[in-house]
Amino acid sequence: MTTWSRLGEKSKREVRLARAFLAAVAEPPAPALAGFVARHGPCRSVELVQRGKAPPDVLSEVEARFAHVSAEQLLAATEAAGARLVVPEEPEWPSSAFQDLAGGREVGLPEVAEPIALWVRGREDLATALDPAIAVVGARAASGYGEHVAAEFGHGLARAGFTVVSGAAYGIDGAAHRGALAAGGRTVAFLACGVDVDYPAGHGRLLRAVAHQGAVVSEYPPGTEPRKHRFLVRNRLIAAAGRATVVVEAGARSGATNTAGTADALGRPVLAVPGPVTSKNSVGCHGMLRSGKAVLVTSTAEVLEAVSPIGVPAPVEDVGEQRRTDRLGPHAQRLHDSLRGMDGASAEELARDCGLPLGEVRALLPELELSGFAVRTERGWSVAAR
Amino acid sequence: MTTWSRLGEKSKREVRLARAFLAAVAEPPAPALAGFVARHGPCRSVELVQRGKAPPDVLSEVEARFAHVSAEQLLAATEAAGARLVVPEEPEWPSSAFQDLAGGREVGLPEVAEPIALWVRGREDLATALDPAIAVVGARAASGYGEHVAAEFGHGLARAGFTVVSGAAYGIDGAAHRGALAAGGRTVAFLACGVDVDYPAGHGRLLRAVAHQGAVVSEYPPGTEPRKHRFLVRNRLIAAAGRATVVVEAGARSGATNTAGTADALGRPVLAVPGPVTSKNSVGCHGMLRSGKAVLVTSTAEVLEAVSPIGVPAPVEDVGEQRRTDRLGPHAQRLHDSLRGMDGASAEELARDCGLPLGEVRALLPELELSGFAVRTERGWSVAAR
């Protein structure tokens, strides 16, 4: 890939044309075609495919669309959509994010393959935009609680310098993107349709804002409509792009648990936000936490801790409100408890109440008096007013 | 202890008098005295203590109250309070619950000792009432969510035949007791004051109901007032009495985390209920879950699973609503997705859309038609109306 800058414009265009054709001719993920292209390169692969000289599994993947794809028309449509095609040969390709997908078979993900090319809407260099990134995903039918947390996490991660990757769906995804946008940070949406298709329909404005502050990305050519299975296929790109995947809310059967499973298989930490056990929206998160597939996180700081165990300042442990009596030793605390319960008592009475030896009580009382915890009056010892 | 039934009434009374004296003369936990009593027996221990022939650490524990405790008066006060004294020598003593406390030093709990005797209000035999038991604890300042879950758990565990053990405090404790009572089940309250002291004041009626359907228990003599440190000391009895401890809600600094820590040290499972990350009341639970000190539970069934991994029917995994298309294979689902997106299409158009080979599409379409997923019309193939 280091030779890209030395290629002439004509050669670069040839690679793009070949990749556009290959990306469009098979329905992703196309593991046979992806492996074939990795072996032969894009231009030679197109030639072999067009002459029918590819293995049967490759030909089976391309057969249905083979005669209907025009690479020239694809690139024209890409330009018309205000998008560009990013290919693995160029420096903009986020190879560190996607290289693990090529080894999908080895990690138990037979249907996972690296994308052949990506369509991108957005000014920012894609490799830069995804480094570093964290995926924040969850249910479409989210609760107000879930959307609140997703927005908080999106905001916090963006402020910490992480790009927030998600899927632009209603619910958790949208809230995560919006949180990052509100923080003035970067956010990237991976779509299950063409980058020129406003899906969901109500998120057209959000998608434009995401393109403006990051990128809208898809492995589907412009004009491709969303299909149910494409959401699951797209999820692997979200899982691979993030250094970790945070699931904010997920029902028992949610696409987010699929993204989490892929992230886990790819060796990325899976983090899940808990919620009320009375909420259907948290059943998926709690299931992942119970099975040990996810680590519980309650804040942005805990997400950051999971992705960079060193180099991040240890979060201040929330030990709750400090009490004034914390600095007293256990016996002095016990005596202080008795003082609070008895108004005007002798040392003997206090010793009986707290069960400490009289000598120790006699030694502790002046200490408590000096440090402002006890007062001596005519009626005896009492707790000092604060 | 098997000799208890053979003891005459006079000897039994002597043991009770000795235990009452020893339980009252030192502020619990009194590890030195407890060890001394275990070695010499209660009657000989009283004799040695009264003659000043005990080791200094024992004498230091009893010094302050030594001259002020009357065992006869204690037993009279016990009877007057409608309570009884239960001692380790008799079969009613819940030895399986408390035997681990004697080894507190070995498990890193130096301040833990077994109780010397227990005052009990309630008709039921204590050993029976605590077998089997589960502790349900949590914050006093609980949320409505927390109280709801505590009541549900109390109810569910009682219905499953477990005694619900808790501390009778406001908030989670009270809700757990009430849930068990509502289920007509058994519940036991361990108090940080005498069994005749209504604490908290608003729980007098609840305590009477608990005594009626289980027991109100304390290692403090009748009339003992609650003191702050006594709540922490009492917590060890709750942790030891339960086969597991469930923390429903706990702030960052909560007595419930202390109970959980003791349960963990005693080798009992610690279970924590998650909640909204936006709630201060769940900070303690989430902390325990993050550190691995607790296992996440969302239902009574999951609690039962933790205490009896075998012998409990495996809970039905909630996989969410089954969809009609679940029985289709992945390629048939892909084709069905395309049918849903295209109204009236040829096999060729469908193949291009879903990317499957035309031959496969032609084979799948009649199958989908037969199984009611697709219809063939004059305009071509469409998805079948449900």
What is the pLDDT confidence band of residue B328, given thresholds at 50, 70 and 90? confident
d(CA A218, CA A78): 12
Structure tokens at A316: 């201040």
Task: With CB atoms and an 8 Å threshold, state whether A320 touches B251.
Answer: yes
Contact A157, A182 (CB under 8 A): no
A352 closest CA partner among B69, B53, B220 = B69
What's the CA dihedral at A92, A97, A102, A107 to 10 degrees? 180
B262 and B356 housed in the same domain: no
- Taking residues B268-293, report their average pLDDT: 97
A118 DSSP β-pair partners? A86
Contact B227, A338 (CB under 8 A): yes
Inside any domain, residue A375 = yes
Residue A359: give its domain's CATH number: 1.10.10.10
B248 closest CA partner among B212, B289, B278 = B289
Cβ partners under 8 Å of residue B64, min gap 6:
A351, A352, A354, A355, A356, A357, A358, A361
B86 and B149 housed in the same domain: yes
A332 and A263 housed in the same domain: no
Which DSSP state fits A372? T
- Chain B positions touching A292 (Cβ under 8 A) are none
- Chain A positions touching B65 (Cβ under 8 A) are 352, 355
Structure tokens at A385: 């007013």
Please name the member of A60, A252, A282 whose beta carbon is closest to the beta carbon of B320: A252
Percent of chain B with pLDDT over 90: 82
What's the CA dihedral at A21, A24, A29, A32 to 10 degrees? -40
Task: With CB atoms and an 8 Å threshold, state whether B298 touches A320.
Answer: no
The dihedral of CA A297, A300, A305, A308: what is its sign? positive
Inside any domain, residue B24 = no
Q: How far is B10 from chain A (nearest CA, A)?
A: 30
pLDDT value of position A105: 64
Inside any domain, residue B52 = no
Alpha helix (H) ranges present in chain A?
9-25, 31-40, 42-50, 56-62, 71-80, 95-102, 126-129, 144-159, 172-182, 204-213, 228-241, 255-265, 283-290, 300-307, 330-341, 347-354, 358-370
- Chain A positions touching B355 (Cβ under 8 A) are 26-27, 30, 61, 64-65
Q: How far is B275 from chain A (nearest CA, A)?
A: 4
Inside any domain, residue A189 = yes
d(CA A384, CA A348): 19
Inside any domain, residue B194 = yes
d(CA B364, CA B347): 10
B199 and B334 housed in the same domain: no
Percent of chain B with pLDDT over 70: 94
Q: How far is A106 from chain B (nearest CA, A)?
A: 21
Query: pLDDT at residue B125 above 60?
Result: yes
Q: How far is B40 from chain A (nearest CA, A)?
A: 22
Across the beta sheet with B84-86, the strand order is B84-86, B118-121, B214-218, B187-190, B163-166, B133-137, B245-247, B270-272, B295-296
Q: Which residue has the tokens 């083979």?
A: A66
A342 and A249 housed in the same domain: no
Residue B210: give its domain's CATH number: 3.40.50.450
Q: Which residue has the tokens 């429903």?
A: B248
Task: With CB atoms and an 8 Å threshold, state whether A145 touches B276.
Answer: yes
User: Residues of A numbered 298-337 whose beta carbons fall under 8 angstroms of chain B's beta carbons: which are they?
Assistant: 298-299, 302, 318-321, 330, 333-334, 337
In this complex, is the C-beta atom of B233 within 8 Å of any C-beta atom belonging to chain A?
no
Domain boundary among B280, B307, B334: B307
In this complex, is the C-beta atom of A341 within 8 Å of any C-beta atom belonging to chain B?
yes
A265 and A140 housed in the same domain: yes
In this complex, is the C-beta atom of B142 within 8 Å of any C-beta atom belonging to chain A?
no
Q: Residue length, chain A?
A: 386
Nearest chain A alpha carbon to B354: A27
Domain that holds residue A264: 78-307
Cα A253 to its chain centre, rounded Å, is 19
The 10s digit of each residue's pLDDT in B159-202 is 999 999 999 999 999 999 999 999 999 999 999 999 999 999 99
Task: With CB atoms and an 8 Å threshold, state whether B273 touches A275.
Answer: no
B312 closest CA partner among B145, B157, B122, B149 = B157
- Taking residues B272-295, report their average pLDDT: 97
B220 and B352 housed in the same domain: no
A189 closest CA partner among A158, A163, A226 = A163
Query: pLDDT at residue B12 above 60?
Result: yes
User: Residues of A numbered 349-378 whose beta carbons fall under 8 angstroms of chain B's beta carbons: which are they?
Assistant: 351-358, 361
In this complex, is the C-beta atom of A4 within 8 Å of any C-beta atom belonging to chain B?
no
Nearest chain B alpha carbon to A143: B276
pLDDT value of position A315: 47
In this complex, is the C-beta atom of B255 within 8 Å of any C-beta atom belonging to chain A?
no
> Which residue would you say has higher pLDDT here, A323 or B152?
B152
Inside any domain, residue A329 = yes
pLDDT value of position B386: 67
Structure tokens at B225: 């007032």
Domain boundary among A250, A279, A307: A307
Q: Which residue has the tokens 């071509």?
A: B380
Task: With CB atoms and an 8 Å threshold, state whether A61 touches B355.
Answer: yes
Which residue in A254, A296, A323, A346 has the most chain B C-beta atoms within 10 A of its own C-beta, making it the best mutation to test that interface? A296
Task: With CB atoms and an 8 Å threshold, state whether A227 touches B338.
Answer: yes
Q: How far is A60 from chain B (nearest CA, A)?
A: 6
Nearest chain B alpha carbon to A359: B64
B358 and B276 housed in the same domain: no
Plot region of A184 (φ>0 → left; ψ -120 to 50 → alpha; else → beta): left
Contact A126, A86 (CB under 8 A): yes
Task: With CB atoms and an 8 Å threshold, state whether A361 touches B64.
Answer: yes
What is the pLDDT confidence band of residue B314, given thresholds at 50, 70 and 90? very low
Q: How many CB atoms lie within 10 A of CB B150?
A: 30
Contact B137, B245 (CB under 8 A): yes
For chain A, which residues score pLDDT lower than 50? 1-2, 314-319
- Chain B positions touching A230 (Cβ under 8 A) are 337
Number of domains in chain A: 2
Which DSSP state fits A345? B
Structure tokens at B28: 């619990």
Which residue in B62, B224, B298 has the most chain A C-beta atoms within 10 A of its own C-beta, making it the best mutation to test that interface? B298
pLDDT value of position A144: 97
Structure tokens at B168: 């009778």
d(CA A352, CA A33): 85
Please name the member of A290, A337, A351 whose beta carbon is closest to the beta carbon of B296: A290
The size of the A-B interface in CB pairs under 8 A is 155
ipTM of the complex: 0.87
A238 and A344 housed in the same domain: no
Q: Residue length, chain B?
A: 386
Structure tokens at A234: 């797209």
d(CA B24, CA B34): 12
Q: How far is B15 from chain A (nearest CA, A)?
A: 23
User: Residues of B numbered 80-119 whose beta carbons fall under 8 angstroms of chain A's beta carbons: which are they?
Assistant: none
pLDDT value of position A348: 93
pLDDT value of position B105: 64
Inside any domain, residue A227 = yes
User: Residues of B numbered 206-225 whose beta carbons fall under 8 angstroms of chain A's beta carbons: which are they?
Assistant: 225
Please name the member of B277, B298, B340 whose beta carbon is closest to the beta carbon of A277: B298
B296 DSSP β-pair partners? B272
In this complex, is the C-beta atom of B346 within 8 Å of any C-beta atom belonging to chain A?
no
- Chain B positions touching A64 (Cβ under 8 A) are 351-352, 354-358, 361
Domain boundary among A256, A278, A307: A307
- Chain B positions touching A333 (Cβ under 8 A) are 228-229
In this complex, is the C-beta atom of A234 within 8 Å of any C-beta atom belonging to chain B?
no
pLDDT value of position B1: 47
A162 and A282 housed in the same domain: yes
B349 and B282 housed in the same domain: no
Inside any domain, residue B288 = yes
Task: With CB atoms and an 8 Å threshold, state whether B227 touches A299.
Answer: no
Contacts 24+ apart (CB under 8 A), B47-53: B49/B22, B49/B25
Please name the member of A30, A297, A355 whose beta carbon is closest to the beta carbon of B64: A355
d(CA A208, CA B3): 84
In this complex, is the C-beta atom of B227 within 8 Å of any C-beta atom belonging to chain A?
yes
SS3 assignment, position A135: strand
pLDDT value of position A385: 80
Task: With CB atoms and an 8 Å threshold, state whether A149 touches B330.
Answer: no
Structure tokens at A378: 């005519």
- What does the H/E/C string look like for chain B? CCCHHHCCHHHHHHHHHHHHHHHHHCCCCCHHHHHHHHHHCHHHHHHHHHCCCCCHHHHHHHCCCHHHCCHHHHHHHHHHCCCEEECCCCCCCCHHHHHHHHCHHHHCCCCCCCCCCEEEECCCCHHHHCCCEEEEECCCCCCHHHHHHHHHHHHHHHHCCCEEEECCCCCHHHHHHHHHHHCCCCEEEECCCCCCCCCCHHHHHHHHHHHHHEEEEECCCCCCCCCHHHHHHHHHHHHHHCCCEEECCCCCCCHHHHHHHHHHHCCCCEEECCCCCCCHHHHHHHHHHHCCCCEECCCHHHHHHHHCCCCCCCCCCCCCCCCHHHHCCHHHHHHHHHHHHCCCECHHHHHHHHCCCHHHHHHHHHHHHHCCCEEEECCEEEECCC
B320 closest CA partner among A264, A255, A261 = A255
User: Residues of B numbered 27-56 whose beta carbons fall under 8 angstroms of chain A's beta carbons: which are they?
Assistant: 27, 30
Q: How far is A324 from chain B (nearest CA, A)?
A: 14
Contact A269, B248 (CB under 8 A): no
A368 and A289 housed in the same domain: no
Cβ partners under 8 Å of residue A238, min gap 6:
A135, A137, A165, A166, A167, A190, A245, A259
Task: With CB atoms and an 8 Å threshold, state whether A289 touches B274.
Answer: yes
